[in-house]
Amino acid sequence: MSMPLRSIRSRLLGLVLATVVPFTALIGAGLWSQWRGDQAAAIQRATAEARLLAAQVDDHIGNLANLLRGLALAVSTDPAEVAANDALLRRVKAESPSFVGEISVFSLAGENIGTSSQAGRFYAGDRRYFREILAGQRLAIGDVVRARVLGVWVVSVARPVVDEAGRLRGVIAVGTLLEHFQDALRVKGLPGGSVISIVDQNGDVVARNIDEANWIGRNLGDWPSVARHIAAKEISELVTWPDGVERITGASMAHGAPWLVSVGLPKEVAFAAVAARLGWSVLFILGTLVATSAIAWMLSGRIARPLRQLGRDAAALAAGNLGHRSAIRSGDEVGALADNFNRMAESLERRQDEARSAADELRKAKDTLAAVIDASPVGIICSSPERRLLLWSRGAAVRPCPQGRDHPRHRAQAHAQGRLAGRRPRRRGADAQSRRHRPQRRLGL
């Protein structure tokens, strides 16, 4: 009986699981959809941040170009005016932000004829920006190099110095100190762990907001994602960076300089909102599962206990105790089953009483008939078709058969006399009681 009860309980618990599992799957599908949406939003955010920073790079290059435009009108290309140029450039440098490096004026031969630096002068004839200005460009941006005088990483921006007739007379250049270049960019508001990287058209790192000392000046042109992003000019994807960390990346090319600005957001950004909701969802699901399992356990107990009691009641009835009744009283199906069980027991007990009464009446009738036959003065003998003696009277045992010794009646009388021979006389009541215990005579009747 215990196995079906466990089966009922397990089925109820299975029903609970069957209810909770689809609900859990629905929550999981919702969280997955939200994560996909958050990831897409993070990619869009990375791209938007990259565009914003690229615009700031353009603003920085534009500010330097405007500074050079004004200085180009103020400086002199006469080698005799070097001291005046130095004084002017040093005053301008003192009022400039920290990321503005050395400001220098060069003759067409590449010789320095004015500088804001106190450390000395350097030759610029071999610099790319100087050659591009001589080639006719109005604004040239140099490579990422270490400054010859200061020994720090710089990128120079140059423009021509012309006379009133528009003829080229010299080149003026200003350097950007790359170690402080991020000060020129507004990078606040990004999630923790975000990385900003700026590389030029050759893949050289111009700026990086984290560990810049180990990254500025490194060439990443051979890194597949960097080369692909430079070629695409604008892209957004989940990609592994040169430091081996996978980030949600947005990249955009600046317009004022051939520099690619990349913003990498940590993958956790896409999981942040989902992780919080996932924690609450797990708690909610576990709480629901525990509560529903407890309810199912209690309900299964309320079902199992009456069924177990009915099992014991049925066992008592099967053992012959027809007077046993079930004590279960409830208004549900189990209560109706208990009522039907009690009615069945009452019916069986009533039929047993009726059978006993009928057996007693039959026994009394047989005893009465046996007494009548035994007291009859006429000889009465009852035998089976096989001539087996079943019942006889005393008269049949003492009267001779008039048809002779060979008649069946005579043989029956002889058989009866032989069976009565040697027995002591009994009282009629005792004889009747003895006959009641003879199954042959009952079978004969």
pLDDT in tens, 340-386: 888 888 888 888 888 888 888 888 888 887 777 777 776 677 677 77
Please, what is the average pLDDT of the chain?
80
Confidence check: pLDDT of 444 > 50: no
**How confident is the model over 117-154, as pLDDT tens digits?**
888 888 999 999 999 999 999 999 999 988 877 778 99
Strand bridging mode 140-141 / 153-162: antiparallel
* Model confidence pTM above 0.75: no
Tell me, what's the pLDDT at 411?
Answer: 58
Measured CA to CA, the distance from residue 127 to residue 90 in angstroms comes to 22
Set out the domains of the chain in order of their start, with CATH numbers: 62-178 (3.30.450.20), 360-444 (no CATH)
Measured CA to CA, the distance from residue 206 to residue 200 in angstroms comes to 7
Tell me, what's the pLDDT at 418?
Answer: 56
Tell me, what's the pLDDT at 168?
Answer: 94
Measured CA to CA, the distance from residue 225 to residue 38 in angstroms comes to 23
| Residue 407: pLDDT band with limits 50, 70, 90 | low
